[in-house]
């Protein structure tokens, strides 16, 4: 996966995620839209056969780069909780 910033303004950022598709884009969009500082978050898939997605984020307040970083951190924590919960459920099922 590779990230490429397309544009960064005071209250918005647009970046391309190369090597991923809309699946990751949808998850990032969902977590960003839960943040009250985020006015809007959307994705574009330039071509269905290319593994890349463009994320567009606009804010009510805050630094776009920091808000995106914080929300990626929240997503990582959430995924780790899912991982731990899944492992525990499997261990219980095996006993």
pLDDT at 2: 95
Dihedral of CA 79/81/83/85: which sign?
negative
- Give tens-digit pLDDT for 29-64: 999 999 999 999 999 999 999 999 999 999 999 999
pLDDT at 95: 82
SS3 call for 24: helix
Superfamily of segment(s) 2-94:
RNA polymerase, RBP11-like subunit (3.30.1360.10)
Q: What is the mean pLDDT of the chain?
A: 96
For the chain, domain boundaries? 2-94
% pLDDT > 70, the chain: 100
| pTM, two decimal places | 0.86
């Amino acid at each position: 996966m590779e990230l490429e910033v397309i544009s960064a303004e005071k209250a918005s950022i647009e970046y391309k995620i190369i090597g991923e598709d809309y699946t990751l884009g949808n998850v990032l969009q969902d977590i960003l839209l839960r943040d009250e500082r985020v006015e809007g978050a959307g994705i574009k898939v330039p071509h269905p056969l290319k593994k890349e997605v463009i994320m567009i984020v606009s804010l009510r307040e805050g630094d776009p780069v920091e808000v995106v970083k914080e929300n990626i951190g929240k997503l990582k924590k959430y995924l780790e909780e899912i991982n731990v919960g899944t492992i525990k459920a499997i261990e219980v099922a095996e006993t």
